[in-house]
Amino acid sequence: MGLAFKEETFRDDYTYRNSLDAIRRFPFPFPEDKYMYSVNIEPHVKGKPGSVLEFPLDIDEHYVSECRDKAITLARDPGRYASLPHMMDAQWDVLELIMESLSRDYPEQFKLTKDGNRWTWQNLPLGIENTFTFGDRSSLPMEPFEYVGRQIQGDWVILDQREGTLFADAGIVTSQADWSLAFDVGMSWHQWHAPVPRATEIGVMDRALKFMMNLQLGEPVRRLNWTMTLNPRLDTSPENYPLWGPDRNHITLDNAGDRVHLRVELQTLFRLPRSNGIVFSIRCYLISLNELATYPRWAKRFHRILKDLHPDLLEYKGLTKFHATAVEWLSRYDDGAPLDIGT
Ligand code: HEM
């Protein structure tokens, strides 16, 4: 598969853009005109060729630049990677999952050669090659989860399953929507989800946990989540709030199309073979309102979603300050007629 990687930035001059092909494959997350949290979990099965669901782990035109942005964030704040000492088996599980998936599904870009426990990994787009002993931490330049986590798009959290719940005991998190790994590491399911409004009351969190606890090896699942980001910025962490929070005060009808982005998270969950942990991957896709409106039906539906979004969700997702402007910008695409597109 031919993949052309773009040179672009996710900070400062923000040169990130989507090609027409990337817009076409954007995982638009709204199957109906309204939105509320739900247990929207489904089997992570193969999707259409070319779609973001074609392979278990999606690599796209932003891969190289996104990995570079991740490296910048980690250099400035090493706390974006954390792993508790008992997570080493799970770390190797995740390294295996990522290396096997990428080398199988993107053979022109990634190669994995095994000679017993001696593995050679070649990442051609990033120019990385290492031979190491699987299971031996000292044979890699850093912990295995950090090593592989720097070479894959999105954020990754490893969960340990014990005491009837899940604990977020390791993570590499550089593109999160305003939550902190340093704060959440070591927390249990209900603890780290505590800030989410309404979901606990409507039973979403209890049902989702039950589902997760029964996740089977070889039967990964996925769900979509979404929020909005101003400018194509990956690092919207609480630690760096002063760098991006004030952007909310500068959105106008003139600049909204370019600056306001829908941010969709394709979240996938895989049971791990040795540790019995679960790895949770949050793959982020960003699209500006201008790009979204390439498909007027998307803009029309997004107008309806945003216009009627529950005030608690507006507040939690941090949309309050620019909500009215975004709704007005999108309204020009909404003629009020029914929309039966699915997505
Ligand atoms: C939000 C982690 C799985 C539903 C969040 C947040 C974190 C998180 C850190 C942000 C909380 C904050 O504001 O501080 C995780 C991890 C998971 C997981 C590590 C791996 C097992 C799920 C699943 C569901 C779910 C399976 C299914 C319903 C939600 C919802 C939100 C949320 C609805 C609010 C999102 C928003 O409005 O943007 N999650 N989550 N999570 N999570 Fe999870």
Q: Return per-residue pLDDT of the chain as tens, 343 residues.
A: 479 999 999 999 999 999 999 999 999 999 999 999 999 999 999 999 999 999 999 999 999 999 999 999 999 999 999 999 999 999 999 999 999 999 999 999 999 999 999 999 999 999 999 999 999 999 999 999 999 999 999 999 999 999 999 999 999 999 999 999 999 999 999 999 999 999 888 889 999 999 999 999 999 999 999 999 999 999 999 999 999 999 999 999 999 999 999 999 999 999 999 999 999 999 999 999 999 999 999 999 999 999 999 999 999 999 999 999 999 999 999 999 998 765 5
9 located within any domain: no
Q: Is 264 in the pocket of ligand 1 (CB under 6 A)?
A: no
Provide the pLDDT for residue 341. 67
Contacts of 117 (CB under 8 A, 6+ apart): 133, 134, 135, 136
Hey, what are 273's tokens?
């073979």
Contacts of 282 (CB under 8 A, 6+ apart): 154, 155, 156, 157, 175, 176, 225, 265, 266, 267
Q: Is 181 in the pocket of ligand 1 (CB under 6 A)?
A: no
1 located within any domain: no
22 located within any domain: no
Taking the C-alpha atoms of residue 58 and residue 152, their distance in angstroms, rounded to an integer, is: 9
Q: Is 192 in the pocket of ligand 1 (CB under 6 A)?
A: yes
Centre of ligand 1 from the C-alpha of residue 190, in Å:
10
Reduced to 3 states (helix: H, G, I; strand: E, B; else coil), residue 285 is: strand
With residue 236 as reference, give the H or E element that holds it.
Answer: none
Taking the C-alpha atoms of residue 35 and residue 304, their distance in angstroms, rounded to an integer, is: 9
Q: Is 212 in the pocket of ligand 1 (CB under 6 A)?
A: yes
Residue 91: half-sphere exposure toward Cβ, Cα within 13 Å: 25
Centre of ligand 1 from the C-alpha of residue 114, in Å:
36
Hey, what are 262's tokens?
């829908």
With residue 104 as reference, give the H or E element that holds it.
Answer: helix 88-105
Centre of ligand 1 from the C-alpha of residue 185, in Å:
14
- Ligand 1 pocket: which of 39, 161, 193 to mutate (most atoms <8 Å of CB)? 193
19 located within any domain: no
Closest residue by CA, ligand 1 atom 43? 193
Reduced to 3 states (helix: H, G, I; strand: E, B; else coil), residue 310 is: coil
Hey, what are 303's tokens?
């107008």
298 located within any domain: yes
Whole domain around residue 42: which residue ranges?
A: 27-57+71-331
CA angle 12, 17, 150 (to 5 degrees): 70
Q: Is 317 in the pocket of ligand 1 (CB under 6 A)?
A: yes
Rounded alpha-carbon distances, angstroms, from residue 286 to 174, 212, 214, 227: 15, 27, 31, 10
**Residue whose structure tokens are 């989800």:** 193
Reduced to 3 states (helix: H, G, I; strand: E, B; else coil), residue 122 is: strand
The yes-or-no answer on residue 207 being catalytic is no
233 located within any domain: yes
Q: Is 227 in the pocket of ligand 1 (CB under 6 A)?
A: yes
Provide the pLDDT for residue 236. 97
Taking the C-alpha atoms of residue 201 and residue 295, their distance in angstroms, rounded to an integer, is: 35
- Residues 17, 68, 137, 223: which is the catalytic one? 223
Q: Is 184 in the pocket of ligand 1 (CB under 6 A)?
A: yes
Taking the C-alpha atoms of residue 145 and residue 96, their distance in angstroms, rounded to an integer, is: 10
Taking the C-alpha atoms of residue 116 and residue 121, their distance in angstroms, rounded to an integer, is: 14
Centre of ligand 1 from the C-alpha of residue 193, in Å:
6
Provide the pLDDT for residue 43. 98
Sheet holding 278-288: strands in order across? 42-43, 221-230, 260-271, 278-288, 155-162, 165-172, 81-83
Provide the pLDDT for residue 199. 86
Provide the pLDDT for residue 2. 72
Taking the C-alpha atoms of residue 286 and residue 38, their distance in angstroms, rounded to an integer, is: 22
With residue 61 as reference, give the H or E element that holds it.
Answer: none
Residues in the chain: 343
Number of domains in the chain: 1
Determine the residue type at 198: R
Taking the C-alpha atoms of residue 224 and residue 335, their distance in angstroms, rounded to an integer, is: 27
Provide the pLDDT for residue 69. 98
Provide the pLDDT for residue 94. 99
Centre of ligand 1 from the C-alpha of residue 25, in Å:
24
Taking the C-alpha atoms of residue 109 and residue 123, their distance in angstroms, rounded to an integer, is: 6
305 located within any domain: yes
Centre of ligand 1 from the C-alpha of residue 267, in Å:
9
Q: Is 196 in the pocket of ligand 1 (CB under 6 A)?
A: yes
100 located within any domain: yes
